[in-house]
Amino acid sequence: MLIIRPIALADYSALHRCAVESGHGFTSLPENEELLNYRIEHSVYSFAKADITAPTDEGYLMVGIDSESGVAVGTTAIEASVGWDLPFYSYHIDTIVHSSRRLGVNKIVKLLSFGNNYTGCSELCSLFLLPRFREGLNGKLMSKCRFLMMAEHPERFSSTIIAEMRGVSDEQGNSPFWQWLQEHFFGIDFTLADYLAGSGHKGFIADLMPKLPIYVNLLSKEAQAVIGQVHDKTRPALKILEDEGFTCRDYVDIFDAGPTVECHLKHIRSVRNSFSAKVIIQDKVHGMSVLVSNTSVENFRAVMADVLLDEDRENVMISSEAAKALLVDNGDRVRILVNH
């Protein structure tokens, strides 16, 4: 069984392993001891923070624990409101028409406009699972447990939820889109730029990024081809979000041009379809497999488990093993997602 829980101070080595294995372009998990420790400490603070009525700078970082070994084998996170401590930049793909009646010419042109229009939105990030644990429903659990937390505690999150999808780069960390920017504006390679941004050193972006819109047709053919495209390893994560109702509204990452997808919190499929039920514990339960979480923030837990629901879905029967993993007793309430 995979158990999702808030990250703890003792999980540093597991988080570092995920940072190493996630590879190039995974900006939210840089191989930086100081930053990783800060993310853990900030997450512990955020989960413990009470009486929140609106999102601010909280960051909720969670790990997936293999129940057999007790080892953290993956990460998943939510940033409650981006842009508080560091600017959140992106490009928007705009379309304009150059026309001349006298010459009878109409030319449609696309532009990349630099800005930070997503400031204040909640961001899904840091979703990573070690390769040998990617079978079955583990990936869906790691991704969708965040929606159960949002559904149970909507006051902690923005009305707009976004996710930056990793763009195209090769095994050496070379990004076709960044190579064009590097040549004309930055002079540093993609892996260094990505590392600096992930480490919180974003000043160079505002200093060196072109202030005026960039005409897409002036980019190299290789750079143009990857705008809005995702890394092969990111396709499963994108498919899950698209099935939840997330769409790209022409915002892309400033480093690798990967798409940013968004959805209104109340329109996310798993938020809409999840429901609360009262727990009845039995030794063993053979029923349908559902995604289930407790209702706590500081002691949040989520698992995939077999349950039996009564006709009106007011009560749910779960096994003693699942109850132990979820830290719940008879009569407690849990949040359930059936059609995962």
Spatial neighbors of 271 by CB under 8 A, at least 6 apart, are 147, 150, 151, 265
Is 231 tagged catalytic? yes
Distance between CA atoms of residues 27 and 12, nearest Å: 17
Rounded to 10 degrees, what is the CA torsion of 110, 116, 120, 123?
70
Distance between CA atoms of residues 194 and 16, nearest Å: 17
Residue 336 pairs in a beta bridge with 275, 292
Which of these is catalytic: 24, 42, 201, 231? Answer: 231
Nearest-CA neighbor of 305 among 279, 330, 331? 279
With beta carbons less than 8 A apart as the criterion, state whether 31 and 85 touch: no
* Longest CA–CA separation in the chain, Å: 82
Distance between CA atoms of residues 93 and 176, nearest Å: 17
Q: If DSSP codes are grouped into helix, strand and coil, which group holds residue 293?
A: strand
Q: If DSSP codes are grouped into helix, strand and coil, which group holds residue 168?
A: coil
What's the distance, Cα to Cα, between the start and end of the chain in Å? 17
Q: For the chain, where are the E strands, in sequence order?
A: 2-6, 59-66, 72-79, 90-100, 105-115, 122-129, 160-164, 214-215, 247-252, 259-264, 275-282, 288-294, 302-309, 315-319, 333-337
Q: Which two structure tokens, joined as six digits, stand for 327?
A: 């830290």
Q: How far is CA 169 from CA 67, 160, 230, in A?
A: 34, 28, 9
Q: Which residues form the catalytic set?
A: 231
